[in-house]
Copies of this chain bind each other. A is one copy, B any other.
Amino acid sequence: MHNFDYSSKLLNNAVSEFAKLPGIGNKTALRLVLHLLKKSDEEVSLFSETMVQLKKNIKKCKICKNVSDSDICEICSNSLKDKTKICVVENINDVIAIEKTRQYNGLYHVLGGLISPMDGIGPETLEIVSLIDRIKQQQVAEIILALNSTPEGDTTNFYIHKKITSFNITITTLARGVAVGSELQYADEITLGRSIINRIVFKN
């Protein structure tokens, strides 16, 4: 794939593997490999083995489709979580980002992507049927649609909304607006416009 000519095939191969990762160029790959070379055999083995173990043993939670070490993920099996709320997200990163805010105590549902006809991704390839099954089987009071505000996100929001609107549940979406701590003059006009339209009562 790549041809580096570091006068060592072992080095070439290792750099080439790192350079396959997103955002890692040849120079960075070489730097990382030379760093690993300085480490002990045990440390390099641990690094490698961790990746193999991850790939081999990681599971998809049977309920929310998040990554999990067991059949049911830690969030779904956590008795302290509010099981009447399901936050619908595109992927694992979004679960991590929302969990980090510590402002949400409900469950998730990971779609595994967004509807994008251009990329051949239809609703049937996403975890939408499983979401509807959850709503049918569980006591769900609220569905929070937390998808990116892109055309694909909007399409997916619209599709899911249409599918679940007949159930007696509240459907909400994330507030969009000017970021906390940012200056108004630098906000784009669509975001600022949404901030004005969706203005909230001032609390002091």
Which residues of A come within 8 Å of B, CB atoms?
A: 5-11, 13-14, 17, 20-24, 28, 30-37, 39, 41, 44-58, 66-69, 73-75, 91-93, 95-96, 99
Point out the residues of chain B lying under 8 angstroms from A5, CB to CB: 99
- Residues A6 and B96 in contact, CB atoms below 8 Å apart: yes
**Total identical chains:** 2
- Residues B14 and A50 in contact, CB atoms below 8 Å apart: yes
- Residues B58 and A52 in contact, CB atoms below 8 Å apart: no
Point out the residues of chain B lying under 8 angstroms from A49, CB to CB: 48
- Residues B44 and A8 in contact, CB atoms below 8 Å apart: no
Please list 13 pairs of residues, one from A and one from B, whose beta carbons are closer than 8 Å in the complex, sorted by A's number. Answer: A6-B92, A7-B73, A8-B67, A8-B68, A8-B74, A13-B53, A14-B51, A17-B47, A21-B35, A22-B31, A23-B31, A37-B58, A39-B55
